[in-house]
Amino acid sequence: MERRNFLASLATASLDAQTEKPPVRLGIVGTGGRGSSLLSMALRAPGVQVAALCDINPAALERAQAAVTKAGQPAPQPYGDSPEAYKRLMDRQDLDAVLIATPWHFHTPMAVYSMQAGKHTGVEVPAALTVEECWQLVDTQEKTGTSCMMMENWSFRRDNLAVLNMIRAGLLGAMVHCHCAHSHDCIDHWFFDPQGNMRWGGEYLVKRNADQYPTHALGPVLSWLDINRGDAFDTISSTATASRGINDYFRRRFGPGHPNATRTYKQGDIVTSVVRTKAGKTIVINYDMQLPRPYDNRWMVQGTLGLYREQPGTVYVAGRTAKYHEWESFDPYQKEFDHKWWKPAEPGAPGSDPLAGGHGGTDDLEVRLFLAAARDKKPTPLDIYDSVTMSAVIGMSEASIEKGGAPLPFPDFTRGRWRTNKPYFAL
C-alpha cells in the first residue's frame, strides 16, 4: 500500500487545526506486542499526550514508559500492581480516551468499565467473545452515551475504502454476495511460540470450536453491504472440519513425542459460516488459521453489474470492462476511487507528514481518526453496533457448529433501527 506515499490527511488535519485546544490525553491498557504498536502510532499523532499506561508485566510496562519519554513526552503514570489496576487508570478524570490491547478475555470487561468511566474507548479485536458480552457492550454504550469502537483496522485499508467508493457510486450495481476470510497460519507465533510452548491464544484451540477471529474478514464487508444500515444479518450457519493441522505441525516440527503432537484440540482447522441477510444477500466467512498457507483475506464482493476480487486484484464491470467476460486490473479503479482519507495532502497542508508503519499506514489512519473523534467529542469512526456484529460471529458460529451446522437467528443489536439507520462509515 506504499504507506509513505499516502496520508491520513482528514484525521491529522482535524487534530492539527485545533492546536489551540489542550492535547488529547490518552491511556493505554496492555503494552505488549499490539499495545506497543498502538502506542507508537499514538506518539506519532499530533496533539496527543500519552498520560497513563497499564500492564501487569513490569518489563512491558517499563519499555512502554521509555518509548513515551524517548518521544519527548513527560513520563506517563504507570499502573500494573494488580489485575484491577486498569480501573484506577480509567477512573482518572484527566484522561479523554483509552485504548485497550490486552488478551481477548479482558476486552469486554475493560471496555465496559472504560465506558462507565466516561472514556472515549477503543478496544482491540475481537471486542467480545460471546453474544452475552456483545449485549453488555451495547447496553453500556446506550446507557452511558460514551462512544466505543473495536479497532478493526482492515475497515480502513486503502483498497477496501476504494471498493466502498465504487459500490456507493453504483459501479457494481445492487449488492448480492460476498466472500471473506481470515486465512493466516498463526500456529508458530500466535497460538504457540517458536519453541512450541502454548501462548494464551492457544488455550482457545483446546476449549472452543468456532470462527475464533472473524473481524478482519468482516471489517470492510459490513460497509460494502450496508449491514446495520438498511440491512442486517438474519441467520448464520457454520460447519467445521476435523482438527488435524495442529497435531501435524508439532509432529513435523518437534517429533511425535511432543505433548502438543498428541493433545486433543476442539478447534477445527477450517470453519465455514454462511450468513443470510434480511434483504437476501449472502456472505461466506472462513476461519483458516492452523494450516500452512500464505496470508489471504479472500475478499470478493459481487453485485448485479459486476464484482471485485482482492486476489489477484481484479474487477469486472458490465458495460465498462473493455473485454467482454474478461477480468481487468483493479489498479485504475484504485486511482479513480481512492478514498479521501488516503489521498495525498497538498504540499505544506496540515497533516502533510507521511504515515509511518502500522500495516502500511492503515493502523496509523485508524488511530488518528479515533483520536480526532476523541478530541472533537464525536462518535467513533466505527460504531458499537458494527463492532459487536463482527464479534458475535464467534459465539454464533460455535453454537451452530454444536448443532450440526443448523441455521440460527442472528441477534439484532440495533433493536430494529437497522431499518432506518443511514450509512455513516467513511462518508
Rounded Cα distance between 344 and 132, Å, is 43
Mean pLDDT across 296-324: 97
Specify the higher pLDDT residue, 229 or 343.
229
Question: Is pLDDT above 80 for 229?
Answer: yes
Rounded Cα distance between 370 and 119, Å, is 12
**CB-neighbour burial class of residue 409 (10 A; exposed 0-12, middle 13-18, buried 19+):** exposed
130-167 burial: b if 16+ Cβ within 10 Å, else e: bbebbbbbbebbeebebbbbbbbbbbbbbbbbbbbbbb
Question: Is pLDDT above 90 for 369?
Answer: yes
Specify the DSSP class assigned to residue 354: P
Specify the DSSP class assigned to residue 169: T
Q: What does the pLDDT read at residue 4?
A: 37
Question: Is pLDDT above 90 for 331?
Answer: yes
Q: What angle do CA 137, 142, 146 make, to 5 degrees?
A: 80
**Sign of torsion over alpha carbons 276, 277, 282, 287:** negative
Q: What does the pLDDT read at residue 345?
A: 54
Q: What does the pLDDT read at residue 93?
A: 97
Question: Is pLDDT above 90 for 343?
Answer: no
Mean pLDDT across 22-50: 96
Q: What does the pLDDT read at residue 156?
A: 97
Among candidate residues 138, 105, 121, 116, the one with its CA nearest the CA of residue 411: 138
Rounded Cα distance between 352 and 361, Å, is 14
Q: Binning pLDDT at 50, 70 and 90, where does residue 350 land?
A: very low
Provide the total of helices (H) and of strands (E) in the chain, helices listed first.
14, 15
| Cβ neighbours, 10 Å, residue 317 | 17
Q: What is the mean pLDDT of the chain?
A: 93
Residues paired with 183 in a beta bridge: 288, 296
Question: Is pLDDT above 50 for 236?
Answer: yes
> What percent of the chain lies above the pLDDT cut of 90?
90
End-to-end CA distance of the chain: 21
How do residues 261-304 score in pLDDT, each as one tens digit? 999 999 999 999 999 999 999 999 999 999 999 999 999 999 99
| Cβ neighbours, 10 Å, residue 69 | 12
| DSSP string across 357-385 | SSTTTHHHHHHHHHHHHHHHT---SS-HH
Determine the CATH number of domain 170-304+383-419: 3.30.360.10
Question: Which fold, 3-152?
Answer: Rossmann fold (3.40.50)
Specify the higher pLDDT residue, 359 or 91.
91
| DSSP string across 19-70 | TTSPPEEEEEE--SHHHHHHHHHHHHSTTEEEEEEE-S-HHHHHHHHHHHHH
β-strands 175-183, 300-303 pairing = antiparallel
Spans of all domains in the chain: 3-152, 170-304+383-419
Q: What does the pLDDT read at residue 12?
A: 47
Grid coordinates belonging to 11: 484525521
Question: Is pLDDT above 80 for 348?
Answer: no
Q: Binning pLDDT at 50, 70 and 90, where does residue 380 land?
A: very high
Q: What does the pLDDT read at residue 22?
A: 87
Report the Cα 259 to chain-centroid distance in Å: 33
Among candidate residues 197, 198, 183, 151, the one with its CA nearest the CA of residue 35: 151
pTM above 0.85, yes or no: yes
Specify the DSSP class assigned to residue 231: B
How do residues 171-221 score in pLDDT, each as one tens digit? 999 999 999 999 999 999 999 999 999 999 999 999 999 999 999 999 999
